[in-house]
Amino acid sequence: MGTVKLGENMVIKEEVIKKACSMAMDAHKSPEKQYLSKKIKTSSSEVVFSFPGSWSVNDWFTGTSFGETKVDLQLFPSLKYIGLDVTATVNEAFLNEFKALLANPLFKNEVGKAAADRRQIVFTGHSSGGAIAILATIWFLEVHIRQSSNRIAPLCLTFGSPLVGDSIINLALRRENWSSYFVNFVMRCDILPQISLSPLSSIKQQLQQVLDYFNQKAQQPPNEAPAFYETVVKNASSVANYAACKIMGSTNPLLETISSFIELSPYRPLGTCVFCTGNGKLVVSNNPDAVLQVLYHASQLSTEEANTKMTVAQTSLRDHLSYGNDLQEYLRMSVVTCLHQHHPEALPLSLNVANAERERVDEALNDLGLSERARLCIHAAEALEKQRLRNQATIDEKQKDIKKCLDKLEAYKRKCALKVGYYDAFKRSEEKEDFHANVERYELAGIWDEIIEMLKRNELPGEFEGRKEWIDLGTRYRRIVEPLDIANYYRHLMNENTGPYMEKGRPRRYRCTQRWREHAERLPHEVPGSCFWAEVEELCIKTGFQGIKESISHLNTKVKTWIKDEELGDDVLLENSTFMKLQKQHS
Amino acid sequence: MNMFMQISTLVKTSKSVIFTGHSIGGTTASLAALWLLSYLQSNFENLSVLCITYGSPLLGNETLSRAILRERWGGKFCHVVSKYDLMPRILFAPLDTIGPHIKLLLKFWHLYMTSPHCGPLDVQRNEEFMAEIFQFVLSHLRGLVEAGEEAVTGMFRPFGNYLFCSGDGAICVDNAAAVIKMMYLLLKTGSPSCSIEDHLKYGDYVGRISSQFLEKKSFMLGELPESRYEAGVALALQSLGISSQEPVAGPAGDCLQAARRMGRTPNLNCANLAIKLSKINPYRAEIEWYKAWCDRSDDQMGYYDSFKQRGASKRVSKVNMNRHKLARFWDNVINLFESNQLPHDFQRHRKWVYASHFYKLLVEPLDIAEYYRAGMHRSKGNYINHGRERRYQIFDRWWKGRNVRDEDNRRSTFASLTQDTCFWAKVEEARGLLDDVRSTRDQRHSALLWEKIDFFARHAKKLVEAKEVSIDVVAKNSSYSLWLIDYNEMKLQMLQFRPQFPSFMNGEIVP
């Protein structure tokens, strides 16, 4: 039985791809059904779910310029940049379509049963059906994989799918280790995957004609095909060129100015992308930055092609319909080039040095129509990913320093527990040790702020936020050091400058590490024990307010759980601590 | 005035403004953009501004160019210059010698633009004159390029970004020296007639460049260098229509490589600074610790006066050393910031705005103490106008520029640091004023002095009442407390002896 090797750890059975592709095309034929499902063979363990595409513009774009909306975190709790609390963006029309599918109890039951029977589920779709398949797969991962460990991982195969969401979705998939389940096939000339990079206003009219053609209402591609092609590629070039400048680290301030004048599409590729060159070769990349560059550059025209724009534009539409027929041929030949496995140095710019392997890669890239400029962009995308790994290694090194500081502060905490508790001791800061503790606090803040900055600038690999060692270290850090930050805040009366700690003063390094833990352990988002002292301080200020006694006793019950969960040390209950004084005052 | 009105309504109603102009109109566009940017800056308003000029002549000298860099406005200007256009280059030649030529040129361009058909005829008639001016500008440009950096003083100098365009594409250069060199190298490959016609071809160029996204350009086999960096440079030259075989390719490539911004990228610099900040924070902590000790100590002089009248102790010399180290760190930050080596919105990063602000609150009182301790006010003048380090003024601007409205929070106890960082300098000056009053006999002069003194007294009273000052201000033996006693005494005396004194009306005694 044939398999297709799409990279080091990715091997897919040929028959799965074939079956998925044919079912994806079949789904269009019965648009009244929300999905089709079938086993690959009666005996096999895989079940394929395929979704039909839609041929109405309203099912592709809604209201705003790119038809984007924030993802529904109830439905997709993982689709966010956790530490920075940024929710992912998706195409609203596709999201609505998926929600309608989910409202169908038959679908949920059937998927649930297949999962319970420990079958591998393959979600698939062609065109906008692919977008639904992607959302369905993410939903399945959230519901069935994240919450129970004994399920078989799904697979998502799309064919000529438009882009579904922004770069945060891809980050989230990588963090959860789900990224490799998504494989998107794209024909070299197929223009559809790029249309998400255009604002609706620029293509609306032509798009409906194009969709009508796909829906077989017209025999020939519409006459506007060349104009449509040009508009779509132009918009793609804006996005890709801007991204390339960023990737290459261009520091020209003009870029920033321009970005406030032109709104660019938020959509980015996700998972693995498999490009079909047009003559039997497959080129694979799992780097979304590189995929974006290939999408655009593969649509550029050589001098000969420029003279036959009509033909090119028609092919760009016809290719969208050719997956069913052509893909088999590609699978049979199985000539695969993986962009991400190559050292950028091995990715040839030109053929100055003779080398059989490089010749083969070069040929595949030529067949995809990638110019030297395109190759430089892909190089840069690969180099950036490597830089992210190096950055991660650098901060991994700092774990030692963090631990050393934390050990010192724990010793400080133990020592203070003999008298009044480290919160109050630090707040008074009368001894030399308090000063030293402050220095440790500063040092740690420096390291953590640096990590946060790197996250903000997207300089760490997507997997970083899912790493247990960092989540645990972050939790330990937050529990020990945040009380000191609170003590410092109220010692310097910053609450009177800026407002209460919880609302105005809480540093991002604590909010971020708290969210990491909450996401990893699937806890609700609430005020953590490390902020206990801020609550105490606010209650001290509110002395005499109505209901203060209730607030104190409420806090008291919380304290007990926090101490039990090790969120808080029992030194808060020392006789002379601010908390005990507060209690006495109101008892 | 009319334009001013129009713009100020624009600022309120729109999100972005683009200025544009061709030829001399380009300089007007630049000036308008500069005016709007200055207006926005002094009013703390936010609006995206972009200025695109086509074939604009040079506008200002090196001082203007530097000022624009310092204000970080370079990214707001994009000067489109075609490969051979003479107009953007013409002012590199001294004006007194080419004056008559320019007049003729302008007449020709004007004629051509209004009635393009009779243009070529004119060209032929003036061929000799064309060659003359072309050679003239070219030789001056060569002189400038060969002289290097020294020659620029007093001359016109480019600013902002230059987008050089040819029929094959465009490249963007923002380093002034590189812009001049590219201007020279490109003009060298041209001819007198094309250098004059090019000024009128911007429509074609822009049209061609904006349809380039569809074109896949390829190189002849083996023409592209193996190194990725050099390949990038070769691609850039290709965009200018210069193939690697041409003699000009070598120097042009060198020029582009040199224009690459030296050092690390802004983001890396910023990350590095963050690490350095966390390293110097302990110095700050030590000063804080010192302040707490001063404010608690028995002599009740407070932070400012303890430092000003410090003796030779190990602790205080350590604090003084820390003060220097912190100053060096922050001066370096400003240096990087002003030479465009930090992210463009660095001054809006919360972290840096707050860090610089707290540094200022903590350390500026020490700087003032040192200034008056060393008697610098006698030789240089008062601190606020003559002794205040520039960094503090910049930090003031950053702090005001943050998009937070100051909420009206009432303080229950004294602030941990005095919010008016120049407070102590004002105390010192007020003390000087009291001395002056004692020694002056001139009534009118004395009244003037009293006016100033009362002004400060009211200001200080307000701060103290709002608890905007740190506890060291009201320490029993602080300069301010001593001054206040002095002030009240003198005021009392004055009121007794001269009840007719005008300030009696609103004269009050500060408790």
CB-based contact B285 A261, cutoff 8 Å = no
CB-based contact B281 A446, cutoff 8 Å = yes
DSSP H or E stretch at residue A32? none
Same domain as B455, residue B390 = yes
Q: A457 to chain B nearest CA, in Å?
A: 9
Domain annotation covers residue B273 = yes
Residue from the list B174, B235, B345 with its beta carbon closest to the beta carbon of A373? B235
Within B347-389, residue ranges assigned H as helices are 350-373, 376-380
Give first-to-last CA distance, chain A, whole Å: 78
Residues from chain A contacting residue B411 (CB–CB below 8 Å): 493, 496
Which segment of A342-356, B14-28, B228-242 scores lowest on mean pLDDT? A342-356
Q: Which residue's entry shows tokens 């008291």?
A: A556
Instruction: Identify which has the larger pLDDT, B457 or B238.
Output: B457
Classified as helix, coil or strand, B466 is coil
Domain annotation covers residue B225 = no
- A83/A509 Cα distance (integer angstroms): 9
Residues from chain B contacting residue A442 (CB–CB below 8 Å): 278, 281-282, 284-285
- Using the predicted structure, report yes or no on whether residue B152 has a pLDDT greater than 70: no
Give this complex's ipTM.
0.83
Same domain as B142, residue B54 = yes
Q: Which residue of B has its CA nearest to A431?
A: B289
Predicted local confidence at residue A8, as pLDDT: 67
Q: Which residues pair with A282 in a beta bridge?
A: A276, A336
Residues from chain B contacting residue A453 (CB–CB below 8 Å): 270-271, 274
Predicted local confidence at residue B504, as pLDDT: 45
Domain annotation covers residue B16 = yes
Mean model confidence pLDDT for chain B: 84
DSSP states of B401-415? HSS-PPP-PPPSS-B
Same domain as B137, residue B285 = no
What does pTM read for this prediction?
A: 0.85
CB-based contact B228 A351, cutoff 8 Å = no
Q: How far is CA A191 from the centre of its chain?
A: 24
Domain annotation covers residue B246 = no
Residues from chain B contacting residue A492 (CB–CB below 8 Å): 416-417
**CB pairs A-B closer than 8 Å:** 152
> Model confidence over B371-419: pLDDT tens digits?
999 999 889 888 999 989 999 999 998 888 776 655 556 677 788 888 8
Instruction: Identify which has the larger pLDDT, A141 or B215.
Output: A141
- A457 CB near a chain B CB, below 8 Å? yes
CB-based contact A376 B271, cutoff 8 Å = no
B328: its two tokens: 């060096």
- A453 CB near a chain B CB, below 8 Å? yes
- Model confidence band, residue B127 (pLDDT cutoffs 50, 70, 90): confident
Look up residue A443 and give its amino acid: E
Same domain as B276, residue B189 = no
Same domain as B269, residue B200 = no
> Model confidence over B158-197: pLDDT tens digits?
999 999 998 888 888 888 888 999 999 999 998 888 888 8
What backbone torsions phi and psi does residue B51 show, to the nearest 5 degrees?
-125, 120
- A198/A170 Cα distance (integer angstroms): 20
Predicted local confidence at residue A183, as pLDDT: 95
Residues from chain A contacting residue B221 (CB–CB below 8 Å): 350-351
B-facing residues of A in 336-355 (CB < 8 A) are 344, 349-353
- Domain of B89, in residue numbers: 2-213
Q: A574 to chain B nearest CA, in Å?
A: 26
The angle at the Cα of B466, spanning B460 to B470, to the nearest 5 degrees, equals 70
Tens-digit pLDDT profile for chain A (587 aa)?
577 777 666 788 888 999 999 999 999 998 889 999 988 877 778 899 999 999 999 999 987 789 999 999 999 999 999 999 999 999 999 999 999 999 999 999 999 999 998 899 999 999 999 999 999 999 999 999 888 778 899 999 999 999 999 999 999 999 999 999 999 999 999 999 999 999 998 998 889 999 999 988 777 888 889 999 999 999 999 999 999 988 887 777 788 888 888 889 999 999 999 999 888 889 999 999 999 999 999 998 887 787 888 888 888 998 999 898 888 888 887 788 888 766 555 556 655 555 677 778 888 888 888 888 888 899 889 889 999 999 999 999 999 999 999 999 999 999 988 888 899 999 988 888 888 899 899 889 988 988 998 898 888 999 999 999 999 999 999 999 999 999 999 888 778 777 889 888 899 999 999 999 999 999 998 889 899 999 999 888 877 777 888 888 888 889 988 998 888 888 888 888 888 888 888 77
Q: A576 to chain B nearest CA, in Å?
A: 22
Same domain as B278, residue B191 = no
- A356/A364 Cα distance (integer angstroms): 13
Which of A237, A257, A493 is the best mutation test for B, with the most CBs of B within 10 A?
A: A257
Residue from the list B267, B289, B415 with its beta carbon closest to the beta carbon of A457? B267
CB-based contact B226 A350, cutoff 8 Å = yes
Q: Which residues pair with A70 in a beta bridge?
A: A89
- Model confidence band, residue B263 (pLDDT cutoffs 50, 70, 90): very low
CB-based contact B289 A429, cutoff 8 Å = yes
Q: B15 to chain A nearest CA, in Å?
A: 9
Residues from chain B contacting residue A388 (CB–CB below 8 Å): none
Dihedral of the CA atoms B264, B268, B274, B276 (nearest 10)? -40
Residue from the list B161, B219, B344 with its beta carbon closest to the beta carbon of A372? B219
CB-based contact A373 B217, cutoff 8 Å = yes
Three-state secondary structure of A445-489: HHHHHHHHHHHHCCCCCHHHHHCHHHHHHHHHHHHHHHHHHHHHH
Residue from the list A257, A302, A352 with its beta carbon closest to the beta carbon of B76? A257
Same domain as B465, residue B384 = yes
Residue from the list A237, A439, A457 with its beta carbon closest to the beta carbon of B282? A439
Residues from chain B contacting residue A350 (CB–CB below 8 Å): 219, 221-224, 226
Residues from chain A contacting residue B162 (CB–CB below 8 Å): none
The residues of B assigned a catalytic role are 23, 85, 199
Q: Which residue of A has its CA nearest to B466?
A: A496
Predicted local confidence at residue B275, as pLDDT: 79
Q: Count the neighbouring beta carbons within 10 Å of the beta carbon of residue A514.
A: 23
- E runs forming strands in B160-234: 161-166, 169-173
Identify whether the C-beta of residue A49 lies closer than 8 Å to the C-beta of residue A115. Answer: no
The residues of A assigned a catalytic role are 127, 190, 320
Residue from the list A254, A351, A372 with its beta carbon closest to the beta carbon of B78? A254
Average pLDDT value for residue range B272-294: 87
* Count of structural domains, chain B: 2
Last residue of a domain, one of B169, B190, B213: B213
Q: Which residue of A has its CA nearest to B210?
A: A234
- A260 CB near a chain B CB, below 8 Å? yes
Q: What is the DSSP letter of B151?
A: G
Residue from the list B48, B214, B285 with its beta carbon closest to the beta carbon of A301? B214
Same domain as B270, residue B208 = no
Domain annotation covers residue B141 = yes
Same domain as B397, residue B297 = yes
Q: What is the DSSP letter of A50?
A: E
Look up residue A280 and give its amino acid: G
Same domain as B352, residue B285 = yes
CB-based contact A230 B214, cutoff 8 Å = yes
Q: A345 to chain B nearest CA, in Å?
A: 9
Last residue of a domain, one of B196, B213, B230: B213
- A84 CB near a chain B CB, below 8 Å? no
* CA distances in angstroms from A479 to A60, A302, A322, A388, A531, listed in the order given: 47, 61, 58, 28, 9
Dihedral of the CA atoms A92, A96, A102, A105 (nearest 10)? 180
CB-based contact A496 B410, cutoff 8 Å = yes
Q: Count the neighbouring beta carbons within 10 Å of the beta carbon of residue B465.
A: 9
Within B71-159, residue ranges assigned H as helices are 87-90, 95-114, 119-125, 127-147
Same domain as B501, residue B356 = yes
Average pLDDT value for residue range B93-99: 81
- A494/B163 Cα distance (integer angstroms): 49
Classified as helix, coil or strand, B389 is coil
Q: B468 to chain A nearest CA, in Å?
A: 10
- A379/A349 Cα distance (integer angstroms): 9
Last residue of a domain, one of B174, B189, B213: B213
Residue from the list B16, B218, B265 with its beta carbon closest to the beta carbon of A260? B16
Domain annotation covers residue B254 = no
- B229/B220 Cα distance (integer angstroms): 18
Domain annotation covers residue B255 = no
CB-based contact A257 B48, cutoff 8 Å = yes
CB-based contact A349 B222, cutoff 8 Å = no
Average pLDDT value for residue range B417-439: 90
Average pLDDT value for residue range B334-345: 80
Same domain as B199, residue B93 = yes
Domain annotation covers residue B483 = yes
B-facing residues of A in 408-447 (CB < 8 A) are 429, 435, 438-439, 442-443, 445-447
